[in-house]
Amino acid sequence: MAISDADAESIVEEIRRATRLQAPELKFSGAFVGSKNGTRRPILSGLLAPGGALHGRASVYLIDKHYFVVAKLIDLFVEEKLYKQGRDIRGSGQARKMARSLFTEGPRALGAPLFDRLLASTVAFTSQKNRDQRVTPDDFFDVIEQAWTRSHRRNVTDTLALLRTTRQEATEYVRDAFEPNGTLPQALEPLIPAVRAVTEIWSRKLGRVNMLVDDQRALTDVNLDDIETDIRDRGHPEFRYLSRGLHLGHLRRGKSVEHPSLQLADLLSGAGYAVAERHAGVPNPAGDDLHSAVVPLIDQMSMLPHDEPAKVAQPGAPSVTSRTG
């Protein structure tokens, strides 16, 4: 949501008057979900539609978590191995092609149960819950080996053949992610890459932007620093082109009860989630009612990022707020 708190406050008050809501904080889940709130949803649709107060200020970034896990398989292990060999499969687009192929063809190549087991094993091995290392590299690679043996589609087989050779990278991942001095942020937390992606979307539209993100447990100081380092191109010099054209002013987090802009972002996020559920076949009255208003806001880049944070904006830099549902 590209909007300042000052502009957002008047829109929040407009919504309150139209819906007769008295709660101190606007929440999509409390005000716009279910059949009983059907009369309120046209108000939100009207704000997002052409001519509405939020038209042109709203964007939805949608992550398919299954694809996210498949992409992490490539990112954490295959990409890392080939990078050591001087190959940049991220910049060439090969990493994305590999991930998409494994995601789309994997269930047919392996059978749905084994493909699901591969994803579950990836999550179990790489998630923060595995700090005690109950799922070992041996456990993880047993599943990869079974998948490679069973695969009967060339693209999938070739990708799994590469994964079979990444045991060293998996061992290094355990060290970097779980040991006391580990430096790797939560690899399976989609909020972290999502904040960067949202920054990129708005920066390419507006130029230099200030980002205010909702106060979420995953967005720690360390993770925000990592996101900012990535956006500001302080990471691998070989990947400098990935940040070309991105212009970040400030990256801050705040509490939605204190920031009307975050409350509007919450409404948009909730609407996006409801529409995604509808698309997945989950009966959802809110998704039905908001579908036509929200679908045009799903960005084409999408699948398938302290004190008074909203008031530190530099002159000329639009303020963008981000909220997750």
Domain assignment present for 158: yes
Q: How confident is the model over 48-81, as pLDDT tens digits?
A: 999 999 999 999 988 888 999 999 999 999 999 9
Residue 307: the pLDDT is 28
Q: Can you give the pLDDT of all 325 residues of the chain as single tens digits?
A: 999 999 999 999 999 999 988 888 899 998 899 888 999 999 999 999 999 999 999 999 888 889 999 999 999 999 999 999 999 888 888 999 999 999 999 999 999 999 999 999 999 999 988 888 899 999 999 999 999 999 999 999 999 999 999 999 999 998 888 877 666 667 788 888 888 888 888 888 888 899 999 998 888 888 888 888 878 765 444 334 344 567 889 999 999 999 999 999 999 999 999 999 999 899 889 999 999 999 999 875 444 422 222 222 333 455 666 665 4
Domain assignment present for 300: no
Q: How many CB atoms lie within 10 A of CB 160?
A: 24
**Distance between CA atoms of 107 and 226, rounded to whole angstroms?**
34
Chosen domain end from 200, 235, 254: 254
| Boundaries of domain holding 149 | 65-178
For the chain, the domain total comes to 2
Q: What radius of gyration, in Å, describes the C-alpha atoms of the chain?
A: 21
Residues 104 and 161 in one domain: yes
Residue 245: the pLDDT is 60
Residues 161 and 87 in one domain: yes
Are 50 and 44 within 8 A, CB to CB? no
Give residues with Cβ within 8 angstroms of 309, minimum separation 6: 212, 250, 252, 253, 254, 259
Chosen domain end from 149, 178, 207: 178
Domain assignment present for 6: no
Give residues with Cβ within 8 angstroms of 243, minimum separation 6: 230, 231, 232, 233
Residue 325: the pLDDT is 43
Residues 150 and 106 in one domain: yes
Residue 222: the pLDDT is 84
Are 187 and 233 within 8 A, CB to CB? no
Domain assignment present for 111: yes
Residues 73 and 173 in one domain: yes
Are 102 and 74 within 8 A, CB to CB? yes
Domain assignment present for 204: yes
Domain assignment present for 109: yes
Q: Closest by alpha carbon to 324, among 198, 181, 141, 240?
A: 198
pTM for this predicted structure: 0.79
**Distance between CA atoms of 206 and 249, rounded to whole angstroms?**
12
Chosen domain end from 254, 283, 309: 254
Provide the residue type at 151 as one letter.
S
Residues 80 and 163 in one domain: yes
Residues 204 and 241 in one domain: yes
Residues 74 and 151 in one domain: yes
Backbone angles phi, psi at 212, to 5 degrees: -115, 120
Residues 167 and 195 in one domain: no
Q: What sign does the CA torsion over 227, 229, 235, 239 have?
A: positive
Domain assignment present for 120: yes
Structure tokens at 309: 């944070």
Residues 158 and 69 in one domain: yes
Structure tokens at 12: 């929040």
Residues 151 and 243 in one domain: no
Domain assignment present for 2: no
* CA distance to 70, 94, 115, 150, 268, per residue, from 156 (Å): 12, 14, 11, 10, 37
Strand order from edge to edge, sheet including 209-214: 248-254, 209-214, 319-322
Residues 79 and 166 in one domain: yes
* CA distance to 2, 123, 207, per residue, from 202 (Å): 8, 30, 7
Residues 94 and 131 in one domain: yes
